[in-house]
């Protein structure tokens, strides 16, 4: 199967249709497996926990590759119907539409001055404490989530589908899910989630830099900010799209936050004043243009093949 045409179709279909709100998402199955294994394997000393975490990542990648390969072999030789099935299944690994919708759900009450509703909406997409955020804090959280998730939820799974088909896409999504659930530096997960966090870093390394470039092109700038500030981010990948977005907007992101009541120091990204609701609207516009640029890139690859 030539992956570029299928990927272009997946991106367009997912952006237009999204995912049915009441349908169970395949990521829920991966999450249930991670939770089941974590409660049984995350025991003992740090060394044992780390080995168990490595085994979990290997299990996730193996199952993902097995399921993806089985689907591709099932539809191989069926022709156009097989391609339609691959596109339909593959859209479950992308989140262009849902990412836009979740961030737009923050923008609407924030623009209307309803800070309580805006905090409630942004709490759905970030892990930091949101109860005490002012308008700028809500805007920062939403813009950072939009930029980083552009990599995690769009560019990374798409790139892995382009390289390895459904097995690559499913494995990337499983690793990202594991990182979001157990890849934390807490006493419980520091050792057990080590492999998930490192695997997520590896899976997103190149996509994060591509995401930053696309945001820079879409926003007509941000190059200097990305080159200067990306390395100051706590994540080896998250700083690239976030710094690019900060530069494109001409606003300052990052800075101190708190998680579960505990203060967390973070580097500043970009310069200028803190963002507001209008800047969140601009960020959504840049995101939409960056997605369109990615479609054009994949379309070019499909045309050449």
47/258 Cα distance (integer angstroms): 29
Please name the residues in contact with 302: beta carbons below 8 A apart, sequence gap of 6 or more: 2, 4, 5, 7, 8
Token pair, residue 48, equals 């044992």
44/278 Cα distance (integer angstroms): 50
27/145 Cα distance (integer angstroms): 19
Token pair, residue 87, equals 């596109």
What confidence tier does 289 reach under pLDDT thresholds 50, 70, 90? very high
Token pair, residue 30, equals 């991966």
Q: Is residue 109 over pLDDT 90?
A: yes
Interval 26-53 mean pLDDT: 93
Q: Is residue 275 over pLDDT 80?
A: yes
Token pair, residue 212, equals 């930053």
Q: Which pairs with CB-CB distance under 8 Å and at least 24 residues apart come from 259-262?
A: 259/127, 259/128, 259/129, 260/129, 261/129
Secondary structure letter of residue 233 according to DSSP: S
**Cβ-contact 264, 256 below 8 angstroms:** yes
- First vs last C-alpha separation in the chain: 11
pLDDT tens, position by position, 45-93? 999 999 999 999 999 999 999 999 999 988 876 666 778 889 989 999 9
105/61 Cα distance (integer angstroms): 33
**Cβ-contact 216, 223 below 8 angstroms:** yes
Largest CA-CA distance found in the chain, in angstroms, rounded: 57
**Cβ-contact 113, 293 below 8 angstroms:** no
What confidence tier does 284 reach under pLDDT thresholds 50, 70, 90? very high
Question: Which residues are bridge partners to 257 per DSSP?
Answer: 264
What confidence tier does 25 reach under pLDDT thresholds 50, 70, 90? confident
Please name the residues in contact with 65: beta carbons below 8 A apart, sequence gap of 6 or more: 167, 170, 171
Q: Is residue 131 over pLDDT 70?
A: yes
* DSSP letters spanning 122-138: HTTT--S--TT--HHHH
Please name the residues in contact with 50: beta carbons below 8 A apart, sequence gap of 6 or more: 191, 192, 194, 195
pLDDT tens, position by position, 217-254? 999 888 889 999 999 998 999 999 999 999 999 999 99
Specify the pLDDT at position 11.
Answer: 96
Token pair, residue 67, equals 């399921």
Specify the pLDDT at position 1.
Answer: 52
Backbone angles phi, psi at 259, to 5 degrees: -125, 120
173/157 Cα distance (integer angstroms): 7
Please name the residues in contact with 180: beta carbons below 8 A apart, sequence gap of 6 or more: none
Which residue's structure tokens are 């993902």?
Answer: 64
24/36 Cα distance (integer angstroms): 18
């Amino acid at each position: 199967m030539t992956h570029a045409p299928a990927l272009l179709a997946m991106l367009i279909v997912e952006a237009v249709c999204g995912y049915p709100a009441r349908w169970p998402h395949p990521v829920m199955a991966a999450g249930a497996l991670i939770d089941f294994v974590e409660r049984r394997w995350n025991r003992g000393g740090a060394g044992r926990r780390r080995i168990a975490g490595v085994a979990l990542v290997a299990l996730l990648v193996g199952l993902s590759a097995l399921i993806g390969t089985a689907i591709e072999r099932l539809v191989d030789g069926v022709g156009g119907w097989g391609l339609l099935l691959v596109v339909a299944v593959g859209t479950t690994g992308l989140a262009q539409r849902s990412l836009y919708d979740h961030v737009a759900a923050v923008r609407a009450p924030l623009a209307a001055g309803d800070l309580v509703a805006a905090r409630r909406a942004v709490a759905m997409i970030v892990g930091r404490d949101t109860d005490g955020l002012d308008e700028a804090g809500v805007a920062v959280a939403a813009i950072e989530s939009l930029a980083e998730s552009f990599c995690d939820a769009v560019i990374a799974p798409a790139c892995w589908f382009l390289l390895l088909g459904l097995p690559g896409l499913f494995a990337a999504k499983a690793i990202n899910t594991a990182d979001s659930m157990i890849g934390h530096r807490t006493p419980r997960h520091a050792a057990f989630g080590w492999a998930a966090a490192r695997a997520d870093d590896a899976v997103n390394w190149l996509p994060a830099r591509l995401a930053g470039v696309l945001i820079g092109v879409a926003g007509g700038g941000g190059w200097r900010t990305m080159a200067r500030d990306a390395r100051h981010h706590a994540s080896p990948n998250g700083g690239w799209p976030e710094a690019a977005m900060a530069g494109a907007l001409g606003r300052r992101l990052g800075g101190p936050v708190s998680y579960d009541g505990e203060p967390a120091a973070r580097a500043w990204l970009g310069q200028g004043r803190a963002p507001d609701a209008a800047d969140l609207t601009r960020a959504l516009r840049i995101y939409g243009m960056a997605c369109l640029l990615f479609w054009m890139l994949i379309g070019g690859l499909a045309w050449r093949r």
